[in-house]
């Protein structure tokens, strides 16, 4: 892992985010490589005496947390979380996000909604002036074709996500499909999020526009990382 590489920036940001966890907190654990670095640091802190409970957003996050000896619960046991640690595909200057590369967007959005503070951990390449990445959409298999048609009518180009180590479509932890939807421009992310989630059969989309005030972004950079707090964290 060379200094200044995306992996080194992710590691620096993830470990810095883990330092924001305080003793006794209940913490949402996102899905993906960046959060894994945060979980590694949490495991080290737990070994040194930190008491924390994690709420994972996917089977993958739960498996990794158990391997790292992080105690786990769920939203039934802890519907209110102190903090959530997660990554993002892109984040704009207003802290609006595109998420879902790990196909855990619905559970990640549930955990983000339950948390007092949402800590997004990214490398510097994920910060953009305008959201442009494909928007993942989780849809029930029964409605995948009409949902894709509705997305096309809205100006998007949906592509069914297929597996890498399996044949056929990716199946989410909820038993659904993922449509990766590219749009020629996302000038109004809030409106697009509302439009996509209003399509019958769509469970959720990867636009996260409702959590900006309580979002803090930890950005891994070439020589360390930078913490950019949101309005709630700043006390405004």
Q: Using 50, 70 and 90 to split pLDDT, how confident is the model at 232?
A: low
* pTM (two decimals): 0.93
Tell me the longest C-alpha to C-alpha distance in the chain.
55
Q: What whole-number distance in Å separates Cα of residue 177 and Cα of residue 28?
A: 24
- What pLDDT, on the 0 to 100 scale, is given for residue 236? 37
Residues labelled as active-site residues: 108
Tell me, yes or no, whether 1 lies in a domain.
no
Q: Which residues pair with 72 in a beta bridge?
A: 54
Q: Is pLDDT at 9 greater than 70 in this prediction? A: yes
pLDDT (mean) for 22-44: 96
Tally of domains within the chain: 2
Cβ–Cβ under 8 Å, residues 212 and 94? yes
Q: Is residue 151 part of a domain?
A: yes
Determine the structural domain holding residue 51 and report its residue range. Answer: 6-128+209-234
| CATH code of the domain containing 144 | 3.30.70.260
The one-character DSSP state at 72 is B
1 has pLDDT over 60: no
Calculate mean pLDDT across residues 81-106: 97
User: CATH number for the domain including 48?
Assistant: 3.40.50.1360
- Kindly state whether residues 100 and 179 are assigned to the same domain: no
Give the residue with greater pLDDT, 129 vs 236.
129
What would the mean pLDDT of 95-110 be, rounded to a whole number? 97
Statement to judge: residues 123 and 151 lie in one domain: no
Q: Is residue 111 part of a domain?
A: yes
pLDDT digits (tens, 9 = 90+) for 37-90: 999 999 999 999 999 999 999 999 999 999 999 999 999 999 999 999 999 999
Is residue 214 domain-shared with residue 168, that is, in the same domain? no
The β-bridge partners of 227 are 218
In this structure, the answer to whether residues 152 and 221 fall within a common structural domain is no
Shared-domain flag, residues 45 and 113: yes
Angstrom CA distances, 136 to 132, 162, 189, 207, 232, stand at: 12, 13, 13, 8, 27
């Amino acid at each position: 892992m060379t200094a200044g590489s995306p992996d080194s920036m992710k590691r620096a940001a993830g470990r810095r985010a883990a330092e924001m966890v305080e003793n006794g907190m209940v913490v949402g654990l996102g899905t993906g490589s960046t959060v894994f670095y945060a979980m590694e640091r949490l495991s080290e802190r737990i070994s040194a005496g930190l008491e924390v409970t994690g709420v994972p957003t996917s089977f993958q996050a739960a498996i990794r947390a158990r391997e790292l000896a992080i105690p786990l619960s769920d939203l039934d046991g802890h519907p209110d979380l102190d903090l959530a640690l997660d990554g993002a595909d892109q984040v704009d200057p207003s802290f609006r996000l595109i998420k879902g590369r790990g196909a855990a967007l619905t559970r990640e959005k549930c955990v983000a909604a339950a948390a007092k503070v949402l800590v997004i951990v990214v490398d510097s390449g994920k910060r953009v002036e305008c959201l442009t990445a494909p928007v993942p959409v989780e849809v029930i298999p029964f409605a995948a074709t009409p949902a894709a048609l509705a997305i096309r009518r809205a100006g998007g180009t949906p592509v069914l996500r297929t597996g890498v180590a399996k044949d056929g479509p990716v199946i989410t932890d909820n038993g659904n499909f993922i449509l990766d939807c590219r749009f020629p421009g996302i000038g109004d992310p809030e409106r697009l999020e509302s439009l996509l989630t209003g399509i019958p059969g769509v469970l959720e989309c990867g636009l996260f526009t409702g959590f900006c005030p309580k979002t803090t972004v930890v950005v891994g950079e070439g020589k360390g990382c930078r913490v950019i707090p949101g309005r709630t964290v700043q006390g405004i």
